[in-house]
Homo-oligomer: A and B are copies of this chain.
């Protein structure tokens, strides 16, 4: 079957095994779609209609402030979910943009289909609960970093926890993700290398 990575993901996060029939139902509920580099999956002002599972490629979710500066809130690569869950849940227009950083392939689930699946496939609510917990923990960690650490410490923490990101995304995006300017990140790295 195609998209085995989604199956593996759900099995892993739900702590159970999907039957072939269940997995087939999940695949029926979603739509595969490709995005070219720089193509939008969500634009600020729209309500987020889809939750996307990344099969391959990479995405970023970011806001743009009054001065036109982008602030990246989330980075996602294959085997991650992408969406503005606030907008999707509350049905409010999103403040964020989501676009492809590389040519990518995703599976799109509308919120309704996703709710159906959560109601009918036992593994799904387990996976969702687990996912929400992980999301919460991750954003609490980043909040802690952002409140109590210096730019350099935040960079080193990212280097430890998500080295993949550093290889996968250009440095200016990493800078934005860390909440510093590209110049500052460049200097931080120079300093870190000297040690």
Chain A residues proximal to chain B, CB less than 8 Å:
63, 65, 69, 71, 73, 85-86, 89-90, 95, 125, 128-129, 132-133, 135-137, 139-144, 146-148, 179
Oligomer copy total: 2
Within 8 Å CB of A147, what residues of B? 71, 73, 146, 179
Give A135's nearest chain B residue, CB to CB.
B136
Within 8 Å CB of A85, what residues of B? 133, 136-137, 140
The smallest C-beta distance from A180 to any residue of chain B, in angstroms, reads 9
Give A132's nearest chain B residue, CB to CB.
B132
Within 8 Å CB of A142, what residues of B? 143
The smallest C-beta distance from A125 to any residue of chain B, in angstroms, reads 8
Instruction: Compute how far the CA of A90 lies from the CA of B141 in the bound complex, rounded to whole angstroms.
Output: 14
B89–A137 touching, CB < 8 Å: yes
A86 touches which one: B65, B71, B140 (CB < 8 A)? B140
Give A95's nearest chain B residue, CB to CB.
B144
Q: Contacts A73-B147, A146-B146, A146-B147 given; 15 further ones with Cβ under 8 A?
A: A63-B148, A71-B144, A71-B147, A73-B143, A73-B144, A85-B133, A85-B136, A86-B140, A86-B141, A125-B125, A128-B129, A129-B132, A132-B132, A136-B136, A139-B143
Within 8 Å CB of A95, what residues of B? 144
Within 8 Å CB of A141, what residues of B? 86
The smallest C-beta distance from A158 to any residue of chain B, in angstroms, reads 13
Within 8 Å CB of A146, what residues of B? 143, 146-147, 179
Instruction: Compute how far the CA of A129 lies from the CA of B139 in the bound complex, rounded to whole angstroms.
Output: 17
Instruction: Compute how far the CA of A148 lies from the CA of B181 in the bound complex, rounded to whole angstroms.
Output: 11
Instruction: Compute how far the CA of A137 lies from the CA of B135 in the bound complex, rounded to whole angstroms.
Output: 10
A137 touches which one: B65, B86, B129, B143 (CB < 8 A)? B86
The smallest C-beta distance from A73 to any residue of chain B, in angstroms, reads 6
